[in-house]
Structures are given as C-alpha cells and as structure tokens.
Structure 1
Amino acid sequence: MTQIPRSALILGLAGVIPFAWGALTLLSDAASQWGVDVLGPRFVGPYVQLSYGMVILSFMSGVLWGFATKARGAQAATGYILSVIPALWAFFMTGGGPVSAGMNLIFGFLGLLVLDFSFWKWNLAPSWWMHLRLLLTTLVVVCLSVGVVL
C-alpha cells in the first residue's frame, strides 16, 4: 500500500467533523447549548450524526459505484449491486429512534468497510484506500458510539 494522498486525508478527516461535533454536544451541555443557539437544534447531538451519517453512507455508495465502473463483466455487475447497499441501508435502517438508528449506522459503516475491502482486493480502489477507510471508519464508529451509549 502507498501513503494516503494529503488532500484525501484532509478531506476525509474533515468529513468526520459532524460526527465528532455530534459526540461533543452529547458530552458537553455548553457545546450543545451553543450549537442550538447558533446552528439550530438539528445540528447537535444525535440529530447531526444521524442525518449526516445517512448522507455519508449514500455518498459512499456513489464512490463504490465509481470503483465498479473499472470492472468488467460479472465483476462489474457484482460491484454495481454491492455499491447500492450502503445507501439502501441508510434509507431503510435509520428509523426507530436515535439509539437504534445510531446502532444501525454503526453496522452500516462496518459493513461499508467490508465492501471497501472487497473493492480494494479486486484492485478497483486505490492502493492506499484501506488505510484511509480504516482510519475514518474507526473515528466515525467511536463518535456514533457516544450517541448510542449516552
């Protein structure tokens, strides 16, 4: 594997900010109140984590779809089918309250990591892909876990 390109690393880590912010507002009443006052109530706690998590799982479906375009034949068909799973998971599995939705997002991101590995193993993703995805998935799961535990 090669080193993660700096821009991909920076943008990937920036993408974790809403998850981390949601966790912080669950842990800090002051941060939560500031967030409600300045940003509005849907941008704190589990609300920001769950809505953003749905967006990111859907975005990652698009990334996987892009990887699938590099494949041919049956592997391409398999790639396209697998690529829609994260978006469908986010759509169908994030109802029922913040704890169950948070748990299902955690399962969704862990499942996405399995898909990432598959596309990487098929040489459809960049050589550095799993380094980035392991880091980002770990951070996202830790942040979502705060919402599930509290």
Structure 2
Amino acid sequence: MKGRRLEAMLWVLALLVLVLGWQRWRRAEPDADAPPSALQATPPEPRAVPRARLAAAGRAVVGGNPFRLDRAPAPIGFNQPGAMMPGMPAPYVPPPPPRPQLAVTGIVGPPWQAVMEGIPGREGTSVVVRRGDVFGDLRIRDVTRTTVVVSAPDTTWRLTVRRWQ
C-alpha cells in the first residue's frame, strides 16, 4: 500500500512540474526583433588608399623583420646548407658504433684454430674460428700459433692469447 501511495505522489509531482513549465512557456515574451533599418543597412565602402602609400608600408614591413625580436635581418641566411649562426653549437654528429671487445682464449692446431670471445651476435659464448670465417663485418684473416688477425671494414686487430694471472 505504501508503494502505491509513493507512486501516486510522484505522478502528481510530475504533472505539476509539467503544468508549471507549460504556463511559464506561454507567458514568456518573444525576443526583440532588430529594427528593420539595421537589417537593410550596407557596410560602408572601404576607404581608398593610394598605391604608393601601400607600397611604402609593404617595404617597411618586409625590411623591418616583424617576426624577429630585434627587428633586424638574421646574420646568416636560413636557406644556406651547412650555415651556422654565430654562437650556436656545432651540429650533432653521432659517435661511431662501439667496436667489439675481442679476446683470444686459446689457439690449437695445426691446422690452427682459435677460441675467441666477444664475437658480435654471439656474446657470452666462446666461438671456435678458422682462417676465412666471417661473422657479420668481421673476417678472420689468419690464425697462427701465437696470433689471430681479424679485420673489419675500418680496422684490423692482431690478437694474442689472453694470459691469466
């Protein structure tokens, strides 16, 4: 019974809000219309400016560098390749990639073979190498009783067996 009573009260309240809103809408005053003279008015014609005056103003704007704080031209042109402004640091040149830390841990033979560490792509393991083997950019040029000659595109290493102390 209590639920029906609450529902009836909510319906009455909703109907009351609806009636009050409708009455407010009926009594509302319409927005004021603009006077007819304002709707038919035309904008004034632009004032004629002599061409010589426009040209002088254009030269002043272009010569004054309006987008620079000191209103002066840049000390160096921006379209010059490799040009640097005074006081600016040199352009960044990335360092060369690190060279591998190669080490010979043993040589056995004949035919001579070496056990090496630090071969790129095989870090953490020892690799048995022979003359003529290629590992990426590294080429094993020669393996003798005491040395291993390894060449890369920009350098050559002559490695001897690492001595343990």
> TM-score range, shorter-chain basis?
under 0.3
More helix by share: 1
Greater Rg, structure 1 or structure 2? 2
TM-score (norm 1): 0.16
Higher relative contact order (CA 8 A, sep 6+): 1
